[in-house]
Each structure stands twice: as C-alpha cells, then as structure tokens.
Structure 1
Amino acid sequence: MSKFIIQVSGPAYGTSASVSALRFTKAALNGGHQVVCVFFYQDGVYNTSEFALPASDEFDVIQQWKLLAEQYQIPLVNCVSAALRRGIISEQEAREHALHHWNVSNAFTMGGLGEFVTGMESADRTICF
C-alpha cells in the first residue's frame, strides 16, 4: 500500500479543493493506504479556523477534517507563514505576539515547509488540492 501526504491549498469554502482532498483522503484510508499528514498551505489554512460557521444545512468540511484526524490519528499541519499572513492565529502564536485571541482549532498544529518536505520524503506520493 502507498503512503500519501496531502496538500490542501484551497479554502474550506468557495472552491471544491478542500472537499475533494477530504474525499480523496477518506478513500485512500478506506483502501488501506496510509496518510502521513495533511498539510494546509496558501488559502488552505482557512480550513483551520474555529471562526468559520457554516449554516446548519451545509457540509462542515472543517469539522470533517477534525473528525478524520481524530479517527485515524493523522496530523493536520498548518503552514505557519501562510496562516499568519492570512490572520489564522494559533494559541501559541497569539501568546508570542501578545494577542488576546486566536482562531486555530487545537486539532491543527502550526508547522513550516520543512515539515512538509520531511513528510514528502517519507511518503510515496504527494497529492495536491
């Protein structure tokens, strides 16, 4: 079986990138493959905001990423540079920058492109959405 690293560059809403990435990830896992991590990059970091509140009749892709990560113990990694420039702030970043609020769910960790490259080295394939 293959080992994948998934890169999500599309936002949670407004494009199909995140939902497509989620569906691919679920299918890969159900097919017996391993997912090393999901790396949220560029506008993909908008998938990690706790402040996104879709209507009750809409698909909550952010919640689905969190459930998937919990079920399969998959790291969800936010590109810290992309996140900060888009106002996506973790609790740790908020403390370091003396901010009173943060909006990144605890299900996601902040990391750099180095973590993405390391993940690529341990994976058989990198799939980008």
Structure 2
Amino acid sequence: MKFAIALYSAAHAPSSRRALRFAEAALAGGHEIVRLFFYQDGVHSASSNCVTPQDELDLAQQWAAFVSSNQLDGVVCIAAALRRGVLNEEEAARYQRPAINLHAPWELSGLGQLHDAIQTADRLICFGGP
C-alpha cells in the first residue's frame, strides 16, 4: 500500500511520535511512503533549532534521520513554515532574515505537493490537528 502522511503537530507533541512510529512500521511492513507533508505546527518538526530536554526523545532529529536514511520525500509547507520562522537559506535571504533553520533532507514547497501525494497514494494518514 502507498501512504501519504501529513503531520500537523509540533515535534514535542505525542502525535508526532505516533506519526513517526507509524511511518517506521509502514516501511517495515513493506509499504511505501510517497510523501511526508509537514503542515501547520508540524513544520517545527523539521526545524534544526529545536532543542529537546535531555530526558526526552529528540523527535525533530529522529524525523530528519528517518527521512534521510529512507530517502523519503519530506516536504514542509512553505506558507506554514514562513509564518512560524522556519526558513531555508533561500527564504532567509529573500526575507532578509539572519537565521536558517531548515536544512536537508527537508524541502519547502506548497500545498500542491500534498494534493499530488494524495492523488498518488492509496491512503492519506493525518496526525495531529487543530
């Protein structure tokens, strides 16, 4: 089965951990993840500036490692990211901001990427939300 996964909550939220464990289990079960889409507060899961307390799991780091090691398409909604100060080098330069906190393996893109993933996947699985 082909899954598209959308994450709406920040890295420290329980739903982020559930989403990561679901994605790991899906791949371990022989399924395919066509795209991971981070939206709303989920964009914080892609920020390299998140600092996790020593006694907690560093889910932002785990997400980045998971996306990299499995060569997945990890897309961060550009509108949600800009609103929350999650910027790659190009957007930081465009808006004359000093900080860059979005690095590979993440890609900034629009909601069209989520739509495309939904069209390609057999199932869209959403975690978190308002």
Could you tell me which runs of 5 or more consecutive residues in structure 2 were left unpaired when the two chains were aligned.
none
| Partners of 2:46 and 2:64 within 8 A in 1 | no
Q: 2:8 is aligned with what amino acid?
A: S
Q: 1:116 is aligned with what amino acid?
A: L
Distance in 2 between residues matched to 1:101 and 1:85, nearest whole Å = 14
Task: Tell me if 1:22 matches 2:2.
Answer: no
Distance in 1 between residues matched to 2:104 and 2:96, nearest whole Å = 19
Identity %: 41
Q: Give matches, 1:12-91, under 5 Å.
A: 12-13=11-12, 15-91=13-89
Q: Structure 1 length normalisation: TM-score?
A: 0.94
Give 2:105's match in structure 1, choosing from 98, 107, 115.
107
Q: Which residue of 1 aligns with 2:5?
A: 6
Instruction: Please report how far the alpha carbon of residue 106 of structure 1 lies from its aligned counterpart in structure 2 after TM superposition.
Output: 2.1
Could you tell me which runs of 5 or more consecutive residues in structure 1 were left unpaired when the two chains were aligned.
none
Aligned residue pairs: how many? 127
Q: 1:8 is aligned with what amino acid?
A: L
Structure 1 segments, 4+ long, off by >4 Å, are none
Instruction: Please report how far the alpha carbon of residue 56 of structure 1 lies from its aligned counterpart in structure 2 after TM superposition.
Output: 2.5
Q: Structure 2 length normalisation: TM-score?
A: 0.93
Q: Which residue of 1 aligns with 2:94?
A: 96
Moved more, 3-12 or 103-112: 103-112
